[in-house]
Amino acid sequence: MPFVTKRQPLSLSAAEREKLEELRRSRSAEKRQVLHAAILLESANGMSDNAIAVTLGVNRHTVALCVRKFLQFGIDAALGELPRPGQSRRITDEAITWVLHCACQKPKDLGYSYELWTYALLQSHVRKHCLAAGHPSLLELSRSKLHRILTQGEVRPHKVRYYVERRDPEFERKMIEVLHVYKDVEIVNAGRVEGTLREPSTVTISFDEKPGIQALAPTTPDVRVPRLRSTRQARPDVGLRRGVSFGRCP
């Protein structure tokens, strides 16, 4: 005996039918929306759920659920997905911000002997002071959740980037001398171009100096590249023509 549904018949307005027809003929729309549009149109034409399921190659429960969503929530809910029930967020955005604020502080400023945070130390600090800060949801903060919070906030309290700069105490004096030399060369060149100076009193030579790199002499002798022997010299038993081999001469 065929299944008989007890729900009210589905009826479409002209605008809804036009929208579903256009969606059903679409080649770029989402496959689920195209399928649901076809289900609604066939149901509005009077077909049963079993017939629609057989025609479209889906389960009868899929057809019934799509039609039921249309009758209860409208066409948009039938073409899409309803929000599914799930567990609400336990840690609020304010608590996450407070954790990042703690991670951006130095442990020494908070009374610890560490220079940098470790995950265990930061987790212990957050659990200890979360109630006073007004975030009781952090009492059971796990290490994996703490790592996820820091990763999403792009905060790495256990790593520090730094660079070493060598400062010369006589840098100012040397800089002034170099600039004076540049200025003297500029004046001499300008005088020679204008013709007011023929021969400069001093000659300035510029060269590149790298005191950190000094090549006194090669440490190893040069290696000569060996000559490559031809194929015939390497294998005298192989003839020039393909498929022909010659024996080695005694």
Q: CA torsion sign, 147 to 149 to 152 to 154?
A: negative
- Residue 98 sits in the same domain as residue 53: no
Q: What is the dihedral of CA 20, 26, 30, 33, to 10 degrees?
A: 10
Report the C-alpha gap between 181 and 90 in whole angstroms.
Answer: 69
In a domain, 36, yes or no: yes
In a domain, 234, yes or no: no
Please give the residue range of the domain that contains residue 200. Answer: 165-204
Give residues with Cβ within 8 angstroms of 85, minimum separation 6.
Answer: none
**Residues of the chain falling short of pLDDT 70:** 1-5, 82-87, 162-165, 207-216, 218, 223, 225-250
In a domain, 65, yes or no: yes
pLDDT recorded at residue 248: 45
In a domain, 170, yes or no: yes
pTM, full prediction: 0.37
In a domain, 159, yes or no: no
Domain end (from 34, 54, 79):
79
Domain count along the chain: 3
pLDDT recorded at residue 126: 93
